[in-house]
Structure 1
Amino acid sequence: MMDRAVHREIAGVAIPDLPGQMVIGGREVDAADGDRIETVDPATGRVFADVPSATLADVDAAVEEARKALRGPWRATLPAERGRILNRVAQLIRRDAERLAVIETLDSGKPLAESRGDVSTAAGYFEYYAGIADKLQGDGIPLGTDYMSFTLHEPVGVTAHIIPWNFPLVTTARGVAPALAAGNTAVVKPASQTPLTALALAGLLAEAGLPAGVYNAVTGRGGVIGDALCGHPGVDHVTFTGSVPTGINVMKVAADRVTSVTLELGGKSPVVVLADADLDAAVEGTLKAIYMNAGQVCSAGSRLVIDRKVHAAMLERLVARARQLSVGHGLGDPKLGPLVSDSHRRTVAAYVDGARARGIAVATGGGPVEVAGFEGGYFYAPTILDAVDARDPVVQEEIFGPVLAVQVVDSAEEAVDVANGTPFGLCAGIYTRDISRAMRFARDVDAGQVFINQYFAGGIQTPFGGTKLSGFGREKGLAALAAYYQVKCITARI
C-alpha cells in the first residue's frame, strides 16, 4: 500500500497529515488481518491514502467496546458534563477546520468552500445537541392522589451509524451528536470512498474528554461491515443514510434482531416556480439546489417544475448561468468538483445519454468534462434536460449528479400533482409571491421538508427526513433525539 507519510501539494494547497487507522475502544488499530483499502482523489483518479479494511472480528470488538463504555464511565457521566464535552468537540472542530476541510475535499471531491461549510455545520451539530444533554427530562402523569406515575428518557444503547460518501463529516456529526447527548455510545462505519474525516473526528472527541469506547470508527467494505453492524446483537439502533436499495437491505437485516432504524434515503425533489415568482431568486435557488456538491445530494432540487408562462425566460437564464459554472479540483475551489468515482460518472452519463436517445432536449451540458492538469478526474458538465415527460426515468429515478430535469406545467394545481409524481418524498421547494399559494403547496405536497422562496432553507434546528421511498424517521433538530432515547414509565401506588 501507499506511503501515508508522503506530503504533497495539490492545486496549491498543502496536504495535511492523514488519519490511517481505525479507532476501537480509544485505541488506533489496524484491521485484525492487516488488510487495507485505498481511497482515491476523485479529481485526479489517483490513490492518496489507505485505511484498514475491517473484519467481522473488528466489528465485534468495536461493539463490545461500545457496550463496555455504555455500562461504565459514560453511564456515570453527568448529563451536564456530556454537554460540556460536546461543546469542547465543537470548539476543536473549529480549531482544526482548515485541516478537516482539505481532507474532506480530497476524499469526496467537493469544492473547498463547500467543505468549509460542512465543517462549520458539523461543529454546529455538537454545539446544538450539547445544549440539550441535561434537558432530556420525562413527564409526570396525573393518575390521581393514590398514584405517582412518571416517565424517564433513557439511552437506547449502542448506536450504529452507516455514513454516506457525499457528506461524510456532516452526516457523522448529525447522527453522533444527538446520540451522545442522549447518553448512547456509537460505532461509526464511514463509506469506503470517504473514510478519513470520521477517523479524524475520533481524535478530537478523545481530546475533548470523551471516554474511550464511546465513539468507535471502523472502516471497510460496506456489504460486509455494514451488514455485520446492522445485524449485530449488541447494536440497539441503526442510523443509515444512503441509497434506497441499501436502505431496504439495512431494514431487513436489522429486522431479524428487531433493531430500530432511522432511514434517510434518496430523493427526486421538485423546485416549483410559478408565473409570479421572482425569477432572479428562483434562478439562484435552482442553481444551488441542483449543482451543490455536483448534484450528489439526496435533497437536491433535481426537478424544475415551472409554469409555462415563465419557462422560456427562466430556462434562458439558467442555461447561461450553468455554462458559466467553473469545474475543477475541489482544492482550487471551483463551483463544481468531480463526481465521486468513475463508475458513478458512467451511471450519470448513462441517464443523460438515454434521455438524449429518447429525444429529450439537452439545453446545456450533457457529457464529461476534461480539466487541464486533472485529466484523470471524474468531472461531468452541469446539465439541463428540457421539457421532460413525467414518466421518463430522468424524472422518476434518482440520478445523483449535476442533471436538472425540467417539467412544464400550466397551473399551480398541476404543479402540485407533478411535484408529487415520483416515488420519493424528501424535499420540495416553491417560488411564488403569493403566500397563500405557497402554503397550499406546503399543505398538499408529499415531502418531509418544504422550502418557500429559498431552497435549502433552515438548518441544524429543522427536522429532516422523508416520506415514501425517501425513508422514515427524522434527523436534525429536537425531533432527531426521539431515535436515541427510549421512554420508561414508572408507576407507584402510594
Structure 2
Amino acid sequence: MTSPGVTPYTAPEVTESFIDGRQVAARQVYENIDPSTGRTWGQVARGGRQEVDQAVGAARAAHPVWRATAPERRAELLCRLADLIAGETETLARMESEDSGKPLSQARNDARVCSRYFRFYGHAIDSYYGLSLPLRPDLHVYTRREPLGVTGHVLAWNYPLQLMARQVAPAVATGNCAVVKPADETPRTAVALARLAIEAGLPPGVVNVVTGLGPEAGAALTAHPGVDHLGFVGSTRIGSLVAAAAAERVSPVTLELGGKSAHLVFADADVEKAARVAASAILQNAGQTCSAGSRVLVHESVHAELVERVTGHFAKVSIGPGTDDPDLGPLVSRKQQERVRGYVESAGSGELVFGGSVVEPNGVTGGAYFAPTLIDGVDPTSPIAREEVFGPVLTTMRFSTEEEAVALANGTDYALLGAVWTRDLSRAHRVAAAVEAGQVYVNTYGAGGGVELPFGGFRKSGYGREKGVEALDAYTATKTVVVQL
C-alpha cells in the first residue's frame, strides 16, 4: 500500500554513463534518492577519472569530423534532436520530476524549453558568420569563428534539462564536442538526452555524459587537460574552484553562479501584480532557482498591502510530491531542507509572517518539504538578506527613497537579476540602469528569461553569458586571416 499522493515504488535500475554512443558499465554505484519520499529511484554509476578520460578521448576523436561538418548539416541534426526531445516530453518530464522533486507541469515546461534550445541554435548556426574587414585595397582581411574543441559542462540539479541544453546546444552547433557531468542528484535526463542525440544522427563522441559525484567525476572533468572550455552552473564556492582549475590550463570558462535578486516595488506600482509575480517566482522549483527574486524591497507606503497580498498567495499553495503536480514540491534533498531551515531559524530581527517550518504533506515523513515562507523587515546586513538560501523563502525590506531602494538592491555580493515595479517610465529606465544585474525586468519578472535573452551576472554571480546568439561566441574563437592581393 502507498500513502495518498505518493508515487508507487518501482524496482531499482542503474543509470550508467553514456560515452561514444554507448552506455558504459558501472564500476561503482550510488543511490538516486527520491526527495518526495526519501526512497530510492535506483542506482547511478559512480564515474570518475577513468570514465572522464574515456569521454574526453571520445570527444577529441570525434571533433575533427564534427567541426568539418557543414553548418547546414549540423543545423539539420540539432533540429531533428529537438523534434525527438519534444516527442519524449512526458518521459523526460517524469524523470525530471522524480529526480528533482519539482512539480510535473514545471518539468514539462523544462522539457519543452530543452527542445527549443536545440532548435534555436540549429537555426542560429545557419547565419553565424565571420566578418570582412576593409583594411586596405591591397589586403583581403576576414575573420572566422572556429570551435574551441572539447567542451566540459558541470551542471546543477535545479534545471537539469534546461541547463544541459543551453550549454550543449550552442557548443555542438559551433562544431565542438561535449562532455557533460550532470548533478549527482539528477543524472537520468542527461543520459536520456545523449541517447536521443545518437538517435537524431549526431556522431558518437559528440555528446557524452559521465554520471558520478562532484568531488570525483566533476573534479576530474574540470582538471582534465583535454578540455578546451568549461561551463559550470552551481554555487559560487565551487565555481571559484572550477575557475582555478581552468586557469591552470589557461582555458576559458563560463560561470553561472548564485543570485540574490531583488524586486523593487515603488509606491505607484501595481502592487497586486508585483505580489503575485514575486510569490510565484519564489515558489517555482521550491525557490531553488539562482534567478529567484528572493528579496522584495517595497516602498513604505505600500509595504503593508504587499505583505498582506503575498501572504494570501502563500496561504493557497498546495504541497506534495512533484509527480502529483502541486504548486510546491519538495526541496532536492534533506540536506537542502536543513540548510533552508537553518537560514530561517537564524533570521534574527525579521518577523516571520508565514511558514518557516518543515512540512509533511499527506503524512510523508521521508520527504524534503519546506513551507512557503515570508519574513518581513529583515536586517539588510543579515545572512538571510545577503546570501542565497535556495528555498521557498521570501524576505521583505522597506525603503523611502529611490536612492535607498537602489542601495538595498545592490547591497549583496550577487548581481544576477532585478525587477522594477513602477508606472513612472523615467524612473523605470533610471533604476534599471542603476541596478547592478545581468538582467533587469520592468513590471514583469522572467526568472532567467527565454532562450533568446543573454543570461549571466556580475560579481559573485559569475561571468560570461549564456543563451541567445551571444552563447555562440562563448564556444568559438576568432581567427583573423590577412591576404596580400
Taking structure 1 as the reference length, the TM-score comes to 0.95
TM-fit CA distance, 1:71: 1.7
1:271 corresponds, among 254, 263, 266, to 263
SS in 1 for 2:356: coil
Counting only pairs closer than 5 Å after superposition, residues 329-368 of structure 1 correspond to structure 2 as 329-355=321-347, 358-368=348-358
User: Are positions 1:299 and 2:294 aligned together?
Assistant: no
What's the counterpart of residue 370 of structure 1? 360
Once residues 135 and 188 of structure 1 are traced to their aligned partners in structure 2, the CA distance between those partners, rounded to angstroms, is 27
What's the counterpart of residue 424 of structure 2? 434
Q: Is the 8 A contact 1:89 1:126 kept in 2?
A: yes
TM-fit CA distance, 1:300: 0.5
Once residues 206 and 109 of structure 1 are traced to their aligned partners in structure 2, the CA distance between those partners, rounded to angstroms, is 28
SS in 1 for 2:141: strand
Once residues 184 and 33 of structure 2 are traced to their aligned partners in structure 1, the CA distance between those partners, rounded to angstroms, is 10
Q: Give aligned pairs, total.
A: 481
Q: Is the 8 A contact 1:294 1:337 kept in 2?
A: yes
What's the counterpart of residue 187 of structure 1? 179
User: Are positions 1:52 and 2:45 aligned together?
Assistant: yes
What's the counterpart of residue 370 of structure 2? 380
Relative distance call for 1:431 and 1:15 in structure 2 (3 A) is: farther
Relative distance call for 1:16 and 1:289 in structure 2 (3 A) is: farther
- The runs of 5 or more residues in structure 1 that have no matched partner are 1-8
| Equivalent AA in structure 2 for residue 387 of structure 1 | G
| Equivalent AA in structure 2 for residue 38 of structure 1 | E
What's the counterpart of residue 61 of structure 1? 54
- The runs of 5 or more residues in structure 2 that have no matched partner are none
TM-fit CA distance, 1:17: 10
What's the counterpart of residue 312 of structure 2? 320
SS in 2 for 1:132: helix
Q: CA RMSD in A?
A: 1.6
TM-fit CA distance, 1:456: 0.9
Relative distance call for 1:191 and 1:284 in structure 2 (3 A) is: same
State which drifts further: 10-19 or 118-127: 10-19
User: Are positions 1:206 and 2:198 aligned together?
Assistant: yes
Once residues 205 and 385 of structure 1 are traced to their aligned partners in structure 2, the CA distance between those partners, rounded to angstroms, is 45
What's the counterpart of residue 425 of structure 1? 415
User: Are positions 1:462 and 2:457 aligned together?
Assistant: no
2:236 corresponds, among 227, 236, 244, to 244
User: Are positions 1:26 and 2:17 aligned together?
Assistant: no
Once residues 264 and 141 of structure 1 are traced to their aligned partners in structure 2, the CA distance between those partners, rounded to angstroms, is 34
| Equivalent AA in structure 1 for residue 427 of structure 2 | R
Q: Is the 8 A contact 2:10 2:41 kept in 1?
A: no
Once residues 484 and 364 of structure 1 are traced to their aligned partners in structure 2, the CA distance between those partners, rounded to angstroms, is 45
Which string of whole-angstrom CA distances, capped at 9 and with x for unpartnered residues, describes residues 101-148 of structure 1?
000000000000100110011011011000022222111111211111
Once residues 374 and 209 of structure 1 are traced to their aligned partners in structure 2, the CA distance between those partners, rounded to angstroms, is 44
Q: Is the 8 A contact 2:12 2:42 kept in 1?
A: no
Q: Is the 8 A contact 2:15 2:45 kept in 1?
A: yes
What's the counterpart of residue 36 of structure 2? 43
SS in 2 for 1:460: coil
User: Are positions 1:142 and 2:137 aligned together?
Assistant: no
Once residues 260 and 231 of structure 1 are traced to their aligned partners in structure 2, the CA distance between those partners, rounded to angstroms, is 13
Q: Is the 8 A contact 1:18 1:103 kept in 2?
A: no
Q: Is the 8 A contact 1:19 1:200 kept in 2?
A: no
Which string of whole-angstrom CA distances, capped at 9 and with x for unpartnered residues, describes residues 214-272 of structure 1?
00000111112112111211100000000000000000111110111000000000011
What's the counterpart of residue 445 of structure 1? 435
Relative distance call for 1:333 and 1:261 in structure 2 (3 A) is: same
2:170 corresponds, among 178, 191, 198, to 178
SS in 1 for 2:124: coil
2:481 corresponds, among 471, 478, 490, to 490
Relative distance call for 1:14 and 1:477 in structure 2 (3 A) is: farther
Q: Is the 8 A contact 2:6 2:37 kept in 1?
A: no
Once residues 234 and 83 of structure 1 are traced to their aligned partners in structure 2, the CA distance between those partners, rounded to angstroms, is 26
| Equivalent AA in structure 2 for residue 291 of structure 1 | L
Q: Is the 8 A contact 1:329 1:374 kept in 2?
A: no
User: Are positions 1:234 and 2:226 aligned together?
Assistant: yes
| Percent of paired sites with the same residue | 47
Counting only pairs closer than 5 Å after superposition, residues 87-236 of structure 1 correspond to structure 2 as 87-236=79-228
SS in 2 for 1:347: helix
Q: Is the 8 A contact 1:16 1:103 kept in 2?
A: no
Q: Is the 8 A contact 1:151 1:489 kept in 2?
A: yes
Once residues 472 and 415 of structure 1 are traced to their aligned partners in structure 2, the CA distance between those partners, rounded to angstroms, is 25
| Equivalent AA in structure 2 for residue 490 of structure 1 | V
| Equivalent AA in structure 2 for residue 461 of structure 1 | E
State which drifts further: 296-305 or 140-149: 140-149
1:70 corresponds, among 63, 83, 102, to 63
TM-fit CA distance, 1:14: 9.8
